[in-house]
């Protein structure tokens, strides 16, 4: 079902002006400019009646995006906006995206509070977008990582900020609002801004290392859930939708005394045959497989 998750290389698009914020990457670095343009090709902005956040494409054919649990919490449907360009440059005014960004509807397919993640399916997706690639190397302390995200308070969508890895932790880190995180987490030196939740956190090759989910201390530490754990959750979710394999019962070979054609007892003429229970109606629902997530909507 989800054949292209984290499996294709990114391509480049144009980069627009950015504002001066802590950790913000400026356009005067050619390599980082190319990185920003690359990740924009997978980026999106999520809008709900009560919140806003970031997201990114993981499967074009199935039109699937990942975002932060808190961004879509309590919602069954949200709006998603993709980057717009004018004269080859990224439009960076939030007002434009809210008023003229032509948002597409997205269904919240599944959420997982313990990972801080949510899976979306949009009604349509631009042909120019591609799914992000999962990093092949593990993050390490001191690595430079980058987040491409929507910064609502600064009126600055689709910015890129630079972060240094300060720690990679095993499952069990406590995060306010989510509790104990069930996946590995990556602590970063530069905190995330409001609207950054759900942003892809990538390495200098533009490969996904983590997903922004907040911070242990929002003013000093940014926190991302490990990209490998995000991918595993999506794959497990997809598998949970597949029907369980049907087990075939072994047939006992007929004995010489009771050939197979005569093995069944025939009731006497004066005895009514035992009525077999009615077959289950075609289309009746089988019990759903148990999956550790807060909700699944098909």
pLDDT for 198: 95
Residues 261-281 pLDDT 10s: 443 443 444 434 443 343 333
Residues with Cβ within 8 Å of residue 53, at least 6 apart in sequence:
45, 46, 67, 68, 70, 71, 72, 150, 195, 196, 197, 198, 199
Mean pLDDT of 2-10: 37
Would you place residue 218 in the very low, low, confident or very high pLDDT band (cuts 50, 70, 90)? low
State the pLDDT at residue 208.
97
Cα separation values, 56 from 59, 113, 221, Å: 9, 18, 22
Q: What average pLDDT score do residues 164-190 get?
A: 92
pLDDT band at 254 (very low <50, low <70, confident <90, very high): low
Q: What is the pLDDT of residues 48-64, one digit of tens each?
A: 998 889 999 999 999 99
Task: Look at 17-21, 27-31, 33-37, 120-124 and tell me which has the smallest mean pLDDT.
Answer: 17-21
Q: What is the length of the chain? A: 298
Return the closest-CA partner of residue 35 out of 205, 158, 188: 205
Strand partners, 118: 67, 111
Q: Is the pLDDT of residue 224 over 60?
A: yes
Domains of the chain by start residue, with CATH: 30-238 (2.40.10.120)
Higher per-residue confidence, 68 vs 255: 68
Enumerate residues 6+ apart whose C-beta is below 8 A from 174. Answer: 180, 181, 216
Read off the pLDDT band of 152 (50, 70, 90): low
Q: pTM for this one?
A: 0.73
User: Helices (DSSP H) in 101-258: which residue ranges?
Assistant: 227-240
Mean local confidence (pLDDT), 229-238:
95
Say if residue 40's pLDDT is above 90: yes
Percent of the chain at pLDDT > 90 equals 50
- What pLDDT does 228 receive? 96
Return the number of other C-beta atoms located less than 10 Å from residue 72's C-beta. Answer: 25
- Beta pairing class for 64-68 and 117-122: antiparallel
Mean pLDDT of all residues in 105-127: 96
């Amino acid at each position: 079902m989800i054949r292209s998750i984290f499996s294709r290389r990114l391509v480049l698009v144009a980069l627009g002006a950015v504002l001066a914020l802590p950790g913000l990457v400026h356009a005067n670095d050619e390599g980082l400019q190319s990185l920003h343009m690359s990740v924009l090709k997978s980026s999106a902005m999520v809008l709900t009646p009560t919140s806003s956040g970031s997201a990114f494409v993981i499967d074009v054919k199935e039109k699937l995006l990942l975002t932060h649990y808190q961004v879509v919490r309590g919602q069954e449907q949200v709006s998603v906006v993709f980057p717009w360009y004018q004269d080859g440059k990224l439009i960076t005014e939030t007002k434009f995206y809210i008023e003229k960004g032509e948002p597409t509807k997205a269904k919240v397919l599944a959420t997982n509070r313990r990972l801080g993640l949510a899976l979306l399916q949009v009604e349509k997706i631009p042909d120019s977008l591609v799914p992000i690639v999962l990093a092949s190397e593990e993050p390490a302390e001191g690595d430079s990582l980058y987040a491409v995200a929507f910064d609502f308070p600064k009126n600055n969508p689709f910015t890129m900020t630079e972060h240094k890895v300060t720690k990679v932790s095993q499952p069990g880190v406590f995060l306010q609002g989510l509790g104990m995180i069930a996946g590995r987490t990556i602590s970063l030196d530069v905190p995330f801004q409001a609207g950054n939740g759900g942003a892809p956190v990538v390495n200098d090759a533009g490969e996904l290392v983590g997903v922004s989910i907040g911070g242990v201390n929002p003013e000093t530490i940014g926190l991302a859930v490990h990209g490998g754990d995000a991918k595993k959750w999506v794959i497990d979710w997809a598998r949970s939708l597949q029907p369980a394999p049907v087990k075939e019962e072994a047939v006992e070979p007929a004995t010489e005394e009771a050939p197979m054609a005569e093995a069944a007892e025939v009731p006497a003429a004066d005895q009514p045959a035992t009525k077999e229970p009615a077959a289950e109606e075609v289309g009746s629902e089988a019990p759903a497989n148990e999956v550790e997530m807060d909700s699944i909507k098909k």
